[in-house]
């Protein structure tokens, strides 16, 4: 008789513990941010459009480049401010994108400014486009994963 009472209490205890763990994990997960997703997708398109103009003189696109770097820095600060682990991963990726020595957008703009005749070669432009696309896709995937988690999809 004693064993038959212990089994239901034990099972309830396990279910209760599992519920608390799952509920706790949900609070630790980063919430989806439509703003972060919009920033990443918009900045990807604008960055690729700017890089495609790299064979033209930098001075012709200086305002566009400056505005884009400011917007990318703003996205970096937004990601840093979100706090949680996945947001910090996104913030690290944004830091690479804006760094003038990071092999990404900031680096491309810095090199474009200093290039002879302020023009980049087509091969260089094509290579940077591929690099940027992958880097932005990483941030977009982070945000898409949070959306799937938050909505119960995926």
Average pLDDT for 124-149: 87
Average pLDDT for 107-120: 94
pLDDT tens sequence across 75-105 = 999 998 887 776 688 899 999 999 999 999 9
| Phi, psi values for residue 55, rounded to 5° | -80, -10
Q: Specify the residue for token string 């790299």.
A: 54
Q: Specify the residue for token string 């480049």.
A: 65
pTM: 0.74
Q: Is the pLDDT of residue 129 over 60?
A: yes
Q: Is the pLDDT of residue 22 over 70?
A: no
Q: What is the mean pLDDT of the chain?
A: 82
């Amino acid at each position: 008789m004693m064993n038959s009472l212990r089994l239901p209490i034990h099972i309830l205890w396990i279910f209760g513990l599992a519920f608390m763990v799952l509920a706790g994990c949900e609070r630790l997960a980063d919430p989806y941010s439509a703003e972060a997703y919009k920033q990443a997708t918009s900045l990807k398109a604008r960055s690729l459009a700017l890089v495609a103009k790299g064979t033209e003189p930098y001075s012709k696109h200086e305002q566009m480049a400056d505005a884009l770097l400011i917007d990318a820095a703003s996205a970096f600060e937004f990601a840093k401010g979100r706090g949680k682990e996945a947001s910090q991963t996104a913030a690290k990726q944004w830091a690479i994108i804006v760094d003038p020595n990071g092999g990404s957008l900031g680096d491309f703009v810095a090199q474009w400014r200093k290039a002879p005749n302020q023009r980049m070669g087509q091969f260089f432009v094509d290579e940077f486009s591929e690099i940027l696309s992958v880097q932005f896709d990483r941030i977009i995937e982070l945000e898409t994963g949070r959306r799937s988690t938050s909505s119960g999809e995926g």
